[in-house]
């Protein structure tokens, strides 16, 4: 009988990774994500893989976010040279995100090595390099939604739209093993049905085993219109108080949502700021990819943009100022008021946002808006948890700016949406909760029992089950 091993995103949000093995010898890896957050989670990224990379027949990727793809360069360097299957849009976004991740790894190692040299310590090596990322990207094999593909002997994969970010997929695996056929469905990250541009997650009805994410398993998101009204009021307040608005944002998915909403405010005459700086080279390039795959947008939003003659983000939001170069980014620091600055990284553990924190976080008239989840151990989480000072670029910076969290912007399904999605499966297949913090999983498990009389399982790290 086929076996499934839970290797990552088990009782935690990041590091998505699962290994499928059949008795006939096929081995397929689902996702190969980076752990993000606390130092011990970061350190786990450099540990040896719990399997032999040479033994894998295939890797199947649900979507491009780094917590689902970020260790693929290490996998390729460790000897894996088989195909990496993903949707076409995911392959394009992975090209963008993995090269950016490698660049960050190289820069961080160089920076750390300089500090260590002053202390008489040896240099450190990057987790992986640009060459490693390019090696992994050369293995990518795009598949369209809805088309079944044999990825290993006896293992068929079909991608379905997950509605999370562009190219995101629910992964359906049909496993044929010694005359027994079993269906495994991995939700990947399920989208919030209120998210702009993306369609609702595809409804499936057939499975023997379901792995379902539980990032927001403990609660529902606020209604989108309420969140938008709060967002608009924050922008008005910041304008009156004479400060800037800083928005740490993930380059892929969240940034495109924010630009859509800011464009809507602009079109309605409700955006008082003079400029919106998109200070993220990766997000700027991601916008171009989104534009190329506009046929995947939600039909209603696609029609709205078409009717307005929108072909690129600047058409929808004319005050948008993309800043590609470091000099353009640094020039923003001369602006003391009237600016919205969207920059990565989304959890503030690097990227250009930390430089803007250095210049704005200590200013009472400024505002910081967190539009998404902040994992434990990240700089973003420390700020929203109320830290009075934070360490930024080797300096202690006071947190005097007004801090706001807008959970309604999440691109993840909330509790009711998760329960609704899984409720369509016939005959209550075995259900395992992954990709969530333990306390949130426990709340979702109880809700599933109360609403659907369905007993879900929370697996342990390294646990193995028979399909």
Q: Which CATH number covers residue 299?
A: 3.40.50.10890
Same-domain status, 158 and 251: no
Residues 362 and 252 placed together within one structural domain of the fold: yes
Q: What angle do CA 314, 317, 323 make, to 5 degrees?
A: 55
| 412-442 CB burial, b ≥16 within 10 A, e <16 | bbbbebbbbbbeebeebbebbbbbbbeebbb
Across 350-358, average pLDDT: 92
pTM above 0.85, yes or no: yes
Look at residue 3 in the predicted model and tell me its pLDDT. Answer: 96
- In angstroms, the Cα distances linking 438 to 189, 325, 433, 434, 443 are 17, 41, 10, 9, 9
Q: Which range has the worst mean pLDDT, 61-65, 95-99, 111-115, 334-338?
A: 111-115
Residue 22 maps to which CATH number?
3.60.15.10
Do 426 and 402 fall into the same domain? no
Q: What is the pLDDT of residue 407?
A: 73
State how far the Cα of 138 lies from the Cα of 376, in Å rounded to an integer. 33
pLDDT bucket at 256, cuts 50 / 70 / 90: very high
Residues 197 and 291 in one domain: no
Same domain, 244 and 126: no
User: Is 210 in the same domain as 281?
Assistant: no
The pLDDT of residue 39 is: 64
For 387, the domain range is: 224-409
Last residue of a domain, one of 360, 385, 409: 409
Mean pLDDT for 270-287 is: 95
Q: Is the model's pLDDT at 278 over the cut of 90?
A: yes
Same domain, 168 and 267: no
- What is the pLDDT confidence band of residue 318, given thresholds at 50, 70 and 90? very high
Cβ of 269: how many Cβ atoms within 10 Å? 7
Instruction: Give the span between the Cα atoms of 129 and 103, in whole angstroms.
Output: 7
- Mean pLDDT over the full length of the chain: 94
The separation between CA 6 and the C-alpha centre of its own chain, rounded to angstroms, equals 20
Task: Tell me, yes or no, whether 346 and 426 share the same domain.
Answer: no
pLDDT in tens, 1-41: 899 999 999 999 999 999 999 998 999 999 999 998 766 66
Q: State the pLDDT at residue 429.
A: 98
Task: Give the model's pLDDT for residue 179.
Answer: 82
Strands 169-177 and 180-186: antiparallel
Domain count, the chain: 2
At residue 112, the pLDDT reads 87
Question: End-to-end distance of the chain based on CA atoms, in angstroms?
Answer: 7
- Collapsing DSSP to helix, strand or coil, 84 comes out as strand
Taking only the tens place, the pLDDT of each residue in 281-298 is 999 999 999 999 989 999
CA distance 124 to 112: 7
Residue finishing a domain among 409, 428, 453: 409
Which of 388, 409, 430 is the endpoint of a domain? 409
Q: Per-residue pLDDT tens for 35-70?
A: 987 666 678 899 999 999 999 999 999 999 999 999
Higher pLDDT among residues 125 and 42, named by residue: 125
Same domain, 194 and 250: no
Rounded Cα distance, 438 and 458, in Å: 8
Q: In this structure, are 107 and 7 located in the same domain?
A: yes
Answer yes or no: do 64 and 172 share one domain: yes
The verdict on 422 and 337 lying in the same domain is no
For residue 444, give both structure tokens.
Answer: 């979702």
- Residue 233 confidence (pLDDT) above 70: yes
Helices (H), 119-253: 130-137, 224-241
């Amino acid at each position: 009988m086929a076996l499934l091993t839970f290797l990552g995103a088990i009782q935690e949000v990041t590091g998505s990774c699962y290994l499928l093995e059949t008795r006939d010898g096929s081995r397929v890896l689902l996702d190969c994500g980076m752990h993000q957050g606390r130092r011990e989670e970061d350190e786990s990224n450099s540990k040896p893989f719990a399997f032999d990379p040479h033994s894998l027949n295939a890797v199947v990727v649900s979507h491009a976010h780094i917590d689902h793809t970020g260790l693929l360069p290490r996998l390729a360097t460790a000897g894996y040279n088989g195909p990496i299957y993903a949707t076409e849009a995911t392959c394009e976004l992975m090209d963008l995100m993995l090269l950016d991740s490698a660049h960050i790894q190289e820069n961080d190692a160089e920076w750390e090595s300089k500090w260590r040299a002053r202390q008489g310590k040896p240099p450190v090596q990057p987790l992986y390099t640009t060459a490693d990322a390019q090696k992994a990207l050369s293995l990518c094999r795009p598949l369209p939604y809805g088309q079944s593909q044999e990825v290993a002997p006896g293992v068929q994969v079909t991608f379905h739209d997950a509605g999370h970010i562009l190219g995101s997929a629910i992964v359906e695996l049909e496993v044929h093993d010694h005359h027994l056929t079993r269906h495994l469905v991995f939700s990947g990250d399920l989208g919030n049905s209120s998210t702009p541009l993306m369609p609702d997650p595809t409804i499936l009805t057939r499975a023997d085993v379901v792995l379902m994410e539980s990032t927001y398993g403990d609660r529902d998101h606020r209604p989108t219109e309420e969140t938008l009204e709060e967002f608009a009021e924050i922008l008005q307040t910041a304008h009156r108080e004479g400060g800037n608005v800083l928005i740490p944002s993930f380059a892929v998915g969240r940034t495109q949502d924010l630009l859509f909403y800011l464009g809507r405010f602009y079109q309605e005459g409700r955006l008082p700021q003079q400029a919106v700086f998109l200070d993220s080279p990766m997000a700027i390039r991601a916008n171009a990819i989104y534009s190329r795959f506009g046929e995947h947008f939600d039909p209603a939003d696609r029609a709205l943009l078409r009717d307005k003659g929108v072909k690129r983000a600047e058409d929808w939001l004319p005050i948008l100022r993309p800043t590609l170069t470091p000099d353009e980014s640094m020039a923003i620091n001369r602006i003391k008021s009237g600016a919205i600055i969207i920059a990565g990284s989304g959890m503030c553990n690097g990227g250009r946002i930390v430089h803007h924190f250095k210049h704005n976080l200590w200013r009472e008239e400024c505002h910081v808006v967190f539009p998404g989840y902040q994992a434990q151990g990240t700089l973003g989480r420390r700020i929203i948890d109320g830290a009075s000072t934070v360490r930024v670029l080797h300096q202690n910076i006071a947190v005097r700016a007004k801090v706001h969290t807008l959970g309604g912007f999440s691109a993840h399904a909330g509790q009711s949406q998760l329960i609704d999605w899984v409720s369509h499966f016939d005959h209550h297949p075995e259900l395992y909760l992954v990709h969530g913090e333990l306390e949130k999983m426990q709340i979702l498990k109880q809700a599933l029992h109360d609403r659907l009389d369905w007993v879900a399982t929370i697996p342990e790290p390294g646990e193995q089950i028979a399909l």
